[in-house]
Chains A and B, each alone.
Chain A
Amino acid sequence: MSVTTLLEGWSDWRHEHPINDQPHNPYKWAMSIDLDACTGCNACSVACYAENNLPVVGKEKYAHGQVMHWLRIERYWDEDGREFPDQGARFLPMMCQQCEAAPCETVCPVGATNHTPDGLNSQIYNRCIGSRYCSANCPFKVRYFNWYDYPTTDNVWPAEMNQQLNPDVTVRGKGVMEKCTFCVQRLREAESNAKSQGRVVRDGEVQTACQQVCLPGAISFGNLVDPESKVHKKWQAQQVELAKDVQAKDKEEGGSKLRGYRILEELRPYPSVMYLERVRESAI
Chain B
Amino acid sequence: MKDIREDIAWAKINKDVLHSLENPRKMFWVMLFVAIAMVGVGVACEAYQYITGMGVANMDNPHVWGLYIASFIFWIGMSHSGTLLSAILHLMHADWRKPIYRFAEAMTTFSLMTAGLFVFVHLGRAWQVYYAIPYPNERGIWPNFQSPLLWDAMAIFTYLSSSILFLYVGMIPDLAICRDNMNPGWRKKLYTALALGWEGTDRQWRNFRVTYLTIACFLIPLAVSVHSIVASDFAMSQQPGWHITSFPPYFVAGALYSGCAAIITLFIILRYVFRFEEYMTLPILKKIVRLTFAISMVWTYLNMIEMASVWYGHDPVAKDTLLERMYGPYAPFWWSMIFCGSIVPLIMAFKRFQTNIPIMFVVSLLLNLGMWLERWMIVSPTFAHGYYPWTWDHDQWPSFVQWGIVFGSFGWFTLLFMGFCKLFPSVSMYEVKEMVYHRSLATKAAAGKLEAAGKGAH
Distance (whole angstroms) from the CB of A106 to the closest CB of chain B? 5
A residues in contact with B60, CB < 8 Å: 64-66, 147
Distance (whole angstroms) from the CB of B375 to the closest CB of chain A? 15
Per DSSP, chain B at the interface is loop
Q: For residues 52 through 91 of chain A, which have their beta carbon under 8 Å from a beta carbon of chain B?
A: 61, 64-67, 72, 74
Distance (whole angstroms) from the CB of B385 to the closest CB of chain A? 12
Q: Which of A10, A66, A136, A145 contacts B237 (CB 8 A)?
A: A136
B residues in contact with A64, CB < 8 Å: 55, 58, 60, 396
Residue B140 at the A interface, CB < 8 A? Answer: yes
State A74–B141 Cα separation when bound (angstroms). Answer: 38
Distance (whole angstroms) from the CB of B88 to the closest CB of chain A? 30
Residue B387 at the A interface, CB < 8 A? Answer: yes
Q: Mark B381-409, 1 if CB is under 8 A from A, else 0.
A: 00100111011010110000000000000
B residues in contact with A10, CB < 8 Å: 145
B144 pairs with A175, CB closer than 8 A: no
State A66–B391 Cα separation when bound (angstroms). Answer: 12
B64 pairs with A132, CB closer than 8 A: yes
Distance (whole angstroms) from the CB of B72 to the closest CB of chain A? 11
B residues in contact with A175, CB < 8 Å: 53-54, 123-126
Which of chain B's residues has its CB closest to A150's CB?
A: B53
Distance (whole angstroms) from the CB of A78 to the closest CB of chain B? 15
Which of chain B's residues has its CB closest to A14's CB?
A: B146
B residues in contact with A120, CB < 8 Å: none
A110 pairs with B124, CB closer than 8 A: no
Residue B194 at the A interface, CB < 8 A? Answer: no
A residues in contact with B239, CB < 8 Å: 136-137, 139
B61 pairs with A143, CB closer than 8 A: yes
Residue B201 at the A interface, CB < 8 A? Answer: no
Q: Which of A107, A127, A264, A267 contacts B147 (CB 8 A)?
A: A107
Residue A19 at the B interface, CB < 8 A? Answer: no
State A148–B401 Cα separation when bound (angstroms). Answer: 14
Residue A94 at the B interface, CB < 8 A? Answer: yes
State A267–B124 Cα separation when bound (angstroms). Answer: 28
Residue A144 at the B interface, CB < 8 A? Answer: yes
State A138–B63 Cα separation when bound (angstroms). Answer: 12
Which of chain A's residues has its CB closest to B379's CB?
A: A136
Residue B59 at the A interface, CB < 8 A? Answer: yes
Q: Which segment, of B129-137, B222-230, B270-278, faces chain A?
A: B129-137
For chain A, the count of residues having a C-beta within 8 Å of the partner chain is 50
Q: For residues 12 through 41 of chain B, which have their beta carbon under 8 Å from a beta carbon of chain A?
A: none
A141-B388, A149-B53 given; A107·B61 CB < 8 A = no
B396 pairs with A110, CB closer than 8 A: no
A140 pairs with B388, CB closer than 8 A: yes
Which of chain B's residues has its CB closest to A263's CB?
A: B388
Which of chain B's residues has its CB closest to A75's CB?
A: B390
Which of chain B's residues has its CB closest to A177's CB?
A: B124
A residues in contact with B58, CB < 8 Å: 64
Q: Which segment, of B148-156, B362-370, B446-454, faces chain A?
A: B148-156
A residues in contact with B386, CB < 8 Å: 139, 141
Residue A1 at the B interface, CB < 8 A? Answer: yes
Distance (whole angstroms) from the CB of B51 to the closest CB of chain A? 9
Distance (whole angstroms) from the CB of A220 to the closest CB of chain B? 23
Residue B183 at the A interface, CB < 8 A? Answer: no
A129 pairs with B53, CB closer than 8 A: no
Distance (whole angstroms) from the CB of A125 to the closest CB of chain B? 10
Which of chain B's residues has its CB closest to A6's CB?
A: B142
B residues in contact with A145, CB < 8 Å: 54, 61, 64, 124
A147 pairs with B55, CB closer than 8 A: yes
A131 pairs with B123, CB closer than 8 A: yes
Which of chain A's residues has its CB closest to B390's CB?
A: A74
Residue A128 at the B interface, CB < 8 A? Answer: yes
B61 pairs with A103, CB closer than 8 A: no
A residues in contact with B233, CB < 8 Å: 133
Distance (whole angstroms) from the CB of B383 to the closest CB of chain A? 7
State A79–B238 Cα separation when bound (angstroms). Answer: 27
Distance (whole angstroms) from the CB of A145 to the closest CB of chain B? 6
Q: Which of A107, A127, A133, A147 contacts B131 (CB 8 A)?
A: A127
Q: Which residues of A contact B (CB under 8 A)?
A: 1-2, 5-6, 9-10, 13-14, 61, 64-67, 72, 74, 94, 103, 106-111, 127-133, 135-141, 143-149, 174-177, 264, 267
19 contacts between A and B (CB under 8 A): A64-B58, A65-B60, A74-B390, A107-B236, A107-B237, A108-B144, A109-B150, A110-B150, A111-B141, A111-B142, A111-B147, A130-B125, A136-B62, A136-B65, A136-B237, A139-B387, A140-B387, A141-B390, A175-B124
Given contacts A145-B54, A145-B61, 11 further A-B contacts (CB under 8 A): A109-B143, A110-B131, A127-B131, A129-B126, A130-B54, A135-B61, A137-B239, A141-B62, A147-B53, A147-B54, A175-B123
